[in-house]
Structure 1
């Protein structure tokens, strides 16, 4: 995302009026493009969404659908740029205060206007402990009093957000925050229809009950099969939305996904099966797309586990995994080896990587064996490894288990399960090593540090480096970007040296998209594609 543009457009005391470079319109169809009579698309989403309640979701599978159903103050277009959503302009009045002006034509799918109070209700609900939002504390930490509310020390009404009037929202942050417009694209910051929630309770997200403010409305939801959305006639930009119907499939197996694409039953795969990139690129040169993301694949290490409590064990496990082979031969889809928590595109931090990353593998293995011996870990010791059902993640897991077996003499038990089960077990601490991906949705390093901060909801490793936490809090209170960056870099190094995770790959997405689907941009480094930006070309 263009953070420099955001900083320029959020200068103190000046309205960030959105112009041509930060437009809010939907599909941009080149003049003269012949469109198909039937504007419908089928895309694989990979997994069953755990919910379609913006406050109760955390998976990419849910986020992909939610960005169609709901629209927050800001959004991400097909190029990966932050654009206007319900807010048509915003102003940072001081380092910790923002004011958003809402567009007057924003409407819920029932025709009622979207107001500033709808955001107040949605955000207060997000941080209210009664909601049990999985990411309430993560996002609440950026807002004034947000953490205290999630911890039950203050009422939800104390959150730093208020409706000045129906069309004006004031947001007060926990400290200086230059990247708030980027942060607010995340689905948990969506407005929520209070009357609908109170009427239907947990059933408010079912087809026929849901009221939403996005470009699409929920038409059908068949569990473990598909979610269907249809164009909303009440959406403020409906005139520029081309697709009238989008079907999200829940196909976890990459090979099954590919077969559906090849048979013409879907228009976009989720990702290519491992090892197929080269052959598919040659077979479908017009269909192949690859995007490098501000995201990473990693393994979470449960530091509360008796075996993994020792940092020497965690370090040894990380040192011996050959990321180059993993990237080049196992996933083989354009991803790059990662030896730290800073990926290319990270902002607010200097690049940090492990010194041993440049050692030859035999030296790394020797050091890892020495660390295990010091920690009293003997050959034949068993590790448990959990991952969600997918051929892609299975191959990664088998490779990792082989690395630990051949280089360290450790035995790894592999346990595959549904994504929602994996997430629950990870959050409950019921694992030793767990597969995880992370796309924070914004480029600032805090999006990655929240994975390891003390007590953070996404910190499945149960790690806590108080010195690093103190640096993060100090940095978050600074307005000087250079000083903030220096402290965040120190904190990142401290967190990495604790080895609460094993960074593996900077994520990229390689997929097939039918040549007649317009609006797909490989430059999108968030892999966030709203259906409103797509259109079907006559073919």
Structure 2
């Protein structure tokens, strides 16, 4: 899942949003949705849907969120200055109007809606943003996404480094409804960041009163978004959303309730879908083929790239993955097309680089980044064996045992088994031990860097290659792999500072940065995900975003069957 940061570019994004809709219904309801079109469908009497997730919610503290599931939930129960609409464009949310921007592009002045309320009746104020953003950047909070403000908000970099106080952050409440934001640089896509979880507000009085209990369960939260979270005990495998009657735009929200259960086995989920107990699900593996021709089946592209993440130091000691040839060998030793065809079977395509297709275009010639940078780290069994042999010699051994970490879903288990078979077969002397754990545990092991190889994934928060590339900067809090390359770091710094005023130069530097990451096998790219989705035909305007939180339920509704 789903995360982003410091710089700006010019020309971006192909598809930004997919609206999952369905046909049918008589023309009784003529209300218009956010895209301006008539819904022209008869609404069902019961506006309630049942969904599933494949992992638990790790946290509901928007300051601490790092994962895709948490991002989806927060996107539907909280709201920042903007939110993405049905077209994937920035729509005013907590901001009452477009901000006033200084001539140098460094100061934004926002007016907060006077009708914006928290679910406990408190007004949403400018100070709620100041409080939350200062929490994000405060080093004592240990928010992994603090880097999303570094290089963006004035003094954020210095605060994160402990050189300045959080109160020095370039954000100020002029009055209850006026928020002033000072930027570190003139960032073209600054507004795209403002719908993300780390830029959402928090009610300071409420958070302070709750103390350590804050966000531990759905009863210890207040909400300012379209829905309120309910029935979540903080660790369980189920929760629900209910319509938030204090939401400023509640007239646009048609669903009264959404029920969610965590189901990790595709077969179990499919049985629930066929029995009518759930209304949408993702298919994977051989299950996709069994539904070929099903009118409920939709194939959807995503900006998610999955890769092997190599931890170069564990328990204070270098791992074999600190050797570049070992990393290269592993990255080239598995058949990506066979993996996509036999394990995933959902339309996903092999990835030979880190930046996905369809994310961003060259500001000079409009060419897609992936097409322009081409194939960088592809499957090559013969070359992998050669590099492996060289790496073993450099390490002074003929055998290596490595642990491979992933989630405990059915498809994750099949994926690891495929990788284990491919790598052990193609790299002589390699032993792979598999470790499948619940998603929340994997997040913890990643944060503690207590793993060797991890199957990881990244979904864009905003449509710019730097959203991926900066993940593996030496000082990035999301690196968690001990990868470090001085030339790569130098490029990242320039991309985020001196090159901002020169989009074409910045683009060339991002192309070069990806080449360095792949040349040194900082990661081993696996695939760009496509989702095979089954969705009941009576659900309309279920928005799926290619960047940022995956789903938005604000405009979704149910028609009569």
**Aligned partner (choices 431, 434, 440) of residue 411 of structure 1:** 431
> 1:476 — aligned with what?
496
Are 2:71 and 1:67 equivalent residues in the alignment?
A: no
1-side partners of 2:541 and 2:264: how far apart? 25
Q: Which residue of 2 aligns with 1:514?
A: 536
Q: Which residue of 2 aligns with 1:315?
A: 328
Contact 1:183 1:442 (8 Å CA) reproduced: yes
Residue 176 of structure 1 corresponds to 186
Q: 2:302 is matched with which residue? A: 293
Matched, 1:329 2:348: no
CA distance in structure 2 between the aligned counterparts of 1:2 and 1:109, rounded to whole angstroms: 38
- Are residues 1:281 and 2:300 paired? no
For residue 449 of structure 1, report the CA deviation from its aligned partner: 1.5
Provide TM-score, normalisation by structure 1.
Answer: 0.90
Q: How does 1:372-411 map to 2 (within 5 A)?
A: 372-376=391-395, 380-409=399-428, 410-411=430-431
Assess if the C-alpha contact under 8 Å between 2:377 and 2:525 holds in 1: no
Deviation track 1:162-200 (CA, whole Å, cap 9, x = no partner) reads: 223333322223323111111222112110011110111
Of the candidates 201, 226, 231, which is equivalent to residue 243 of structure 2? Answer: 231
Q: How does 1:140-219 map to 2 (within 5 A)?
A: 140-205=150-215, 206-219=217-230
The verdict on how the C-alpha distance between 1:248 and 1:470 changes in structure 2, with shifts beyond 3 A counting, is same
1: distance between equivalents of 2:35 and 2:226? 11
Aligned pair partner of 2:146 in 104, 120, 136: 136
> Structure 1 residues 372, 279: closer, same or farther in 2, change over 3 A?
same
Cα distance, 1:423 vs. partner? Answer: 1.0
Matched residue, 1:103: 113
| Structure 1 residues not aligned, in runs of 5+ | 7-23
Q: Which of 191-200 and 461-470 deviates more?
A: 461-470
CA distance 1:260–1:370, shift in 2 (3 Å): same
Deviation at 1:204, TM superposition (A): 2.5
Deviation track 1:325-360 (CA, whole Å, cap 9, x = no partner) reads 111221010111101112113337643799876978
Which residue number corresponds to residue 245 of structure 1? 257
Shift of 1:501: 1.0
| Partner residue, 1:458 | 478
Whether contact under 8 Å (1:348, 1:481) holds in the other structure is no
Cα 1:496–1:5 shift into 2, 3 Å? closer
Whether contact under 8 Å (1:339, 1:354) holds in the other structure is: no
The structure 1 residue matched to 2:461, chosen from 438, 441, 445, is 441
Name the TM-score, length of structure 2 as normaliser: 0.86
Instruction: Measure how far apart 1:378 and its partner are.
Output: 5.2
Partner secondary structure for residue 333 of structure 1: coil
Q: How many aligned positions are there?
A: 519
Question: Residue 487 and residue 324 in structure 1: after superposition, are their counterparts in 2 closer, same or farther (change >3 A)?
Answer: same
Residue in 2 aligned with 1:265?
277
Q: Contact between 1:138 and 1:458, CA under 8 Å: does it hold in 2?
A: no
Partner of 1:19: none
RMSD, aligned CA: 2.6
Output one character per residue of 1:66-114: Cα deviation in whole Å (capped at 9) or x when no partner: 1111001111234433322212323543343333333332221123321
Range with greater deviation from structure 2 (413-422 or 462-471)? 462-471
